[in-house]
Chain A
Amino acid sequence: MMSPYTLVVLVAFVGLGSVALYAVFGGADFGGGVWDSLASGPRRDEQRELIEHAVGPVWETNHVWLIFLVVLLFTCFPPAFAALATGLFVPLTFALAGIILRGAAYAFRASATFDPGLSGFWGHVFGIASIITPFFFGTAVGGLTVGGYAWNSPFALGTGALAVVLCAQIAAIFLTLETAESALREDFRRRAIGSTLALAAMGGLLLTLARVTSPATFAALTRPEARAGVAVAMLLGLLVLALLFAGRLLAARFVVALETFAVLAGWYAEQAPYIIPGTLTYRAAAAPPITLEVFLWFTAAGGVVLVPSLLLLFRVFKSEPQAPASDEAG
């Protein structure tokens, strides 16, 4: 049998993995909503259509990473879950309201095409909710990082803004490859470059905010382990920019995912071995080994069923319709 320590490490990495996947896939969804509300220029409607088409098949499926994370937290680290849910009650409640509104608005907008006013209204709700949700998740992470659950501190608000920009960047890069039309692709390539620059600026601003308002956070962020994560994230950001300029869009898509992982790794390294800085370590918060073990077995068994199902899903999406196009895009 595995040692309790190994179990904690495994479960923690499964948890971080789901954070990373949620950040990339959920981030692309939220970012799609951001660009939906910022749609502009001569191809405004085409941009919205592209977003709807690209997000459509997977739009709520990506919440499973979040649900998985929540379940993992309360199963494997119950006291940490309780502490987080109590301390970060306000931002998490807002993020939750955003999730409800976003999912409902997306479905409503697509079903309300018979009434342009109604579908337009839900379109706005969709865009706003797509901004609110990552913003408040970001403030929750920021509040956790600075300590005292200060989600409304300058650093935490900055983290919220950074989360929104990160989502916008991921989505813009993702969307460049979802259209065959070069003008539309160019629209999103320009947006991708702009949001990558904005992300760099936000990152710098956040470090400055930490230095000014929370020296302890700044010290932790510049610890060697965390510094490595931050530095790698910055380098990857530069690489994304270069690839975007060179028009190497597929490569940019992979590198932006790596960049997101590096940001999260930096954050993890900043506060490890604490799950809640200064109060609770991963080991102290862990459930009994038997629970961790059963959880890991269930995860493995679930994966065995999930992977082939997902492959089938992708195969169906990639295949060409045999008859006139289906109307089920919404």
Chain B
Amino acid sequence: MDHLAAARAQMGTSLAFHYIFAALGVGLPLLLAVVEGLWLRTRNPDYYRLARTWARAMLLLFAIGAVSGTTLSFELGLLWPAFMAAAGAIVGIPFSAEGFAFFIEAIFVGIYLYGWDRLSPRAHWLCSFPIVISGALSAAFVTAVNAWMNTPVGFRFAGGKMTDIDPIAGMFSPAMPTEVLHTTLSAYVFTAFAVAAVYAAALIRSPGDRMAAAALRVAMLAGAVAIPLQIVVGDVSARFDANVEPVKFASEEALFATERGAALQVGGIPDQQARVTHYAIRIPYLLSILAFENPQAEVRGLDAFDRSDEPPVAAVHLCFDLMVGSGTTLLLIAGWWALATRLGRRNPKPWLARAILASGFLAFVAMEAGWMVTEEGRQPWIAVGFLRTAAGVTTAPAVDLAFYGFTLLYFFLAITLAVLLLRLHARDTPEPPAAALRRAA
């Protein structure tokens, strides 16, 4: 494997792995805050047991997220030293803000986990709030760096170097607002449907499980709020791409030739050499309408740009469709759930439970495919317009060996973690404090 491919593969694997834990680390505290709040309000012991079970899961996930995040901070230098030498003075600032947000999160995770019997119930519940807030801020700061790579600002470019650096302007790059919202929401969407899927499986196995029903209701409510928001933000993001990142947009839509009244192409196989997309379903005028709210609007295709600036079109287009398709299906499932169970007042029927089970996987696919769209869609640039990915990569030897090693390691860890999470039974958690139940009675 050549240097660039090995470095990209290792970074990609590390990010894809970290993304799962980072997303659950952002999303799970919110669900925890909700169930613990419900426990305080209703004194229903099921909510207490759920909170204790999810807290244990949060600890495991947080631990793995912390180490995989530490890994990434090293890999920025180990794999992309030239990029960091050029851009560190700008992108370092949001990274340092993220460091502090992470520290706060770690401290409150510690307080939360050890404070069950040491804090008053209300104080303990309130300690989940800083976790929720700092988790979301971490996601926002890190995504701000990625947004900068898409739309770099806050410097002058002279003689191949960035000068007159303004790190604050770099933090608020044009792509930042939409990308931060879209990424942070993806964490809530993924967590909600992943948790819902776990408890849908439990309900399929034992339909009378009241705790599973309660968990499913909370998770699906969160999902039903998050997914429509996500689709709206996704639409705004795509229109942002159409205006500001047209090369990425043309690749997402596999549009090779500039067109007025452009059709939306769903699926198909883009052939970048032959400049055509085979077997796609074409919906007339829809792309012009979606991008510019005008059926006759001109949409710039890849022919409007330099061919050496093109990303791998097939990967970007198919991942984009995979993301949109999975996201739309999630919306349908959430809608079905909302209607059929009257927002969780009834238990789902078997077919709905199976659909919810599938939604966990779909949410995972949507999240990772979306990430691929961002990363592949930016290629061949590491900082669009200024620095090519190939120019950022390390010159150190044995990068490919490191890639194989880390991939093996991650694979191994993922398997173990999955086994352990599946063994995490609610019945192993402590009972709610008797005093609290007496108060409720």
- Say whether B99 contacts A111, CB under 8 Å: no
Give bound CA distance, A301 to B93, whole Å: 13
Min CB distance A309 to B, Å, is 5
- Say whether B77 contacts A74, CB under 8 Å: yes
The yes or no answer to B416 lying at the interface (CB within 8 A) is yes
- Say whether B73 contacts A70, CB under 8 Å: yes
* Of B80-88, B204-212, B216-224, B336-344, the one touching chain A: B80-88
Contact partner of B70 among A99, A108, A306, CB < 8 A? A99
Contact partner of B55 among A63, A114, A328, CB < 8 A? A328
Contact partner of A81 among B84, B104, B107, B117, CB < 8 A? B84
Q: Which of B109-158 contact A (CB under 8 A)?
A: 110-111, 113-119, 130
Contact with A along B54-79 (1 / 0, CB 8 A): 01100110111011111101111110
* Of B165-173, B234-242, B280-288, B293-301, the one touching chain A: B165-173
* Of B42-50, B313-321, B401-409, the one touching chain A: B401-409
Chain B: CB-nearest residue to A100: B67
Contact partner of B116 among A73, A101, A326, CB < 8 A? A326
- Say whether B55 contacts A70, CB under 8 Å: no
By a CB distance below 8 angstroms, the chain A residues around B405 are: 93, 97
The yes or no answer to A288 lying at the interface (CB within 8 A) is yes
Name the interface size band of chain B: 35 or more
Min CB distance B369 to A, Å, is 25
By a CB distance below 8 angstroms, the chain A residues around B76 are: 74
Q: Which of A298-330 contact B (CB under 8 A)?
A: 298-299, 301-302, 305-306, 309-310, 312-313, 316-317, 319-328, 330
Q: Which of B309-337 contact A (CB under 8 A)?
A: none
- Contact count A vs B, C-beta below 8 Å: 226
The yes or no answer to A264 lying at the interface (CB within 8 A) is no
Give bound CA distance, A183 to B384, whole Å: 63
Chain B: CB-nearest residue to A305: B104
Give bound CA distance, A184 to B127, whole Å: 35
* Of A54-62, A163-171, A249-257, the one touching chain B: A54-62
- Say whether A85 contacts B93, CB under 8 Å: no
- Say whether A103 contacts B63, CB under 8 Å: yes
* Of A35-43, A192-200, A215-223, A289-297, the one touching chain B: A289-297
- Say whether A322 contacts B118, CB under 8 Å: yes
Taking chain B's interface residues, is the majority helix, strand, or loop, or is none over half, making it mixed? helix
Given contact pairs A107-B63, A288-B165, A86 touches B119 in the complex (Cβ within 8 A): no
Taking chain A's interface residues, is the majority helix, strand, or loop, or is none over half, making it mixed? helix
Contact partner of A60 among B66, B78, B423, CB < 8 A? B66
Given contact pairs A85-B77, A107-B64, A323-B433, A74 touches B104 in the complex (Cβ within 8 A): no
Given contact pairs A67-B102, A100-B67, A316 touches B55 in the complex (Cβ within 8 A): no
The yes or no answer to B106 lying at the interface (CB within 8 A) is yes
By a CB distance below 8 angstroms, the chain B residues around A309 are: 104, 107-108, 130
Min CB distance B207 to A, Å, is 26
Chain A: CB-nearest residue to B113: A328
Given contact pairs A86-B81, A107-B64, A317 touches B416 in the complex (Cβ within 8 A): no
By a CB distance below 8 angstroms, the chain B residues around A75 are: 88-89, 92-93, 95-96
- Chain A interface residue count, CB cutoff 8 Å, equals 73
Contact with B along A50-83 (1 / 0, CB 8 A): 0000000111110110111011111110110111
The yes or no answer to B430 lying at the interface (CB within 8 A) is yes
Chain B: CB-nearest residue to A85: B77
Chain A: CB-nearest residue to B98: A71
Give bound CA distance, A71 to B70, whole Å: 10
Min CB distance B101 to A, Å, is 9
Min CB distance B217 to A, Å, is 26
- Say whether B67 contacts A99, CB under 8 Å: yes
Min CB distance A307 to B, Å, is 10
Give bound CA distance, A325 to B64, whole Å: 26
Contact partner of A291 among B92, B99, B103, CB < 8 A? B92
The yes or no answer to B100 lying at the interface (CB within 8 A) is yes
- Say whether A96 contacts B168, CB under 8 Å: no
Given contact pairs A100-B409, A103-B63, A70 touches B168 in the complex (Cβ within 8 A): no
The yes or no answer to A89 lying at the interface (CB within 8 A) is yes
The yes or no answer to B413 lying at the interface (CB within 8 A) is yes
By a CB distance below 8 angstroms, the chain B residues around A312 are: 107, 111
The yes or no answer to A287 lying at the interface (CB within 8 A) is yes
Given contact pairs A60-B67, A86-B394, A89-B396, A306 touches B107 in the complex (Cβ within 8 A): yes
Q: Which of B356-373 contact A (CB under 8 A)?
A: none
- Say whether B64 contacts A66, CB under 8 Å: no
- Say whether A321 contacts B59, CB under 8 Å: no
- Say whether B96 contacts A81, CB under 8 Å: no
By a CB distance below 8 angstroms, the chain B residues around A57 are: 110, 114
Given contact pairs A78-B86, A306-B103, A85 touches B81 in the complex (Cβ within 8 A): yes
Contact partner of B63 among A60, A68, A82, A305, CB < 8 A? A60
Contact partner of A70 among B77, B103, B117, CB < 8 A? B77
The yes or no answer to A84 lying at the interface (CB within 8 A) is yes
Extra pairs beyond A81-B84, A290-B167, A324-B430 (11, CB < 8 Å): A63-B67, A67-B69, A81-B88, A93-B405, A96-B75, A104-B413, A107-B63, A295-B93, A302-B97, A317-B114, A327-B430
Interface of B toward A, CB cutoff 8 Å: 55-56, 59-60, 62-64, 66-71, 73-78, 81-82, 84-90, 92-93, 95-97, 99-100, 102-104, 106-108, 110-111, 113-119, 130, 163, 165-168, 394-398, 402, 405-406, 409, 413, 416-417, 420, 423-424, 429-430, 433
**A-B pairs with the 8 shortest C-beta distances?**
A75-B92, A85-B77, A78-B88, A302-B100, A82-B81, A89-B396, A287-B89, A103-B67
- Could you list some 14 contacts between A and B, CB below 8 A? A63-B66, A70-B73, A72-B96, A74-B84, A74-B88, A78-B89, A81-B81, A82-B82, A84-B77, A103-B63, A104-B63, A288-B165, A291-B89, A327-B430
Interface of A toward B, CB cutoff 8 Å: 57-61, 63-64, 66-68, 70-76, 78-79, 81-86, 89-90, 92-93, 96-97, 99-104, 106-108, 111-112, 114, 122, 287-288, 290-291, 294-295, 298-299, 301-302, 305-306, 309-310, 312-313, 316-317, 319-328, 330
